[in-house]
Amino acid sequence: DQQVKQNSPSLSVQEGRISILNCDYTNSMFDYFLWYKKYPAEGPTFLISISSIKDKNEDGRFTVFLNKSAKHLSLHIVPSQPGDSAVYFCAASRYTGANSKLTFGKGITLSVRP
């Protein structure tokens, strides 16, 4: 049962353009969402997060948008750079609770062409 879905396995964009990575979730109890970036042979690294009380969070070139009614979030990278080429994982959780845990999607491979 995939509670977090990243339906597009890959995305290719030109350097300088916008990258939009999408993520859908099914569990309405999720109230905290995160994006992680992963380079080959390395562990995932935290990129940006958003709480369900917000619909947008921005950090430099990275912006995450949350549409709770559609159970959809997206990560925008503007402008895209070749160093952004990596696998991006969407993750979701209930923020509080003794057994809080992250549920990950299967990732999207982003390629930024010079």
**Could you list the residues that contact another protein (CB under 8 A)?**
2, 32, 34, 36, 41-46, 49, 89, 93-102, 104-107
CB of 34 to another protein, least distance (A): 7
Exposed, middle or buried by CB within 10 Å (0-12, 13-18, 19+), for 67?
Answer: exposed
Q: Nearer Cβ to another protein, position 38 or 72? A: 38
Q: Nearer Cβ to another protein, position 2 or 12? A: 2
CB of 114 to another protein, least distance (A): 26
DSSP state at residue 97: S
DSSP codes joined into one string, 29-42: T--EEEEEEE-TTS
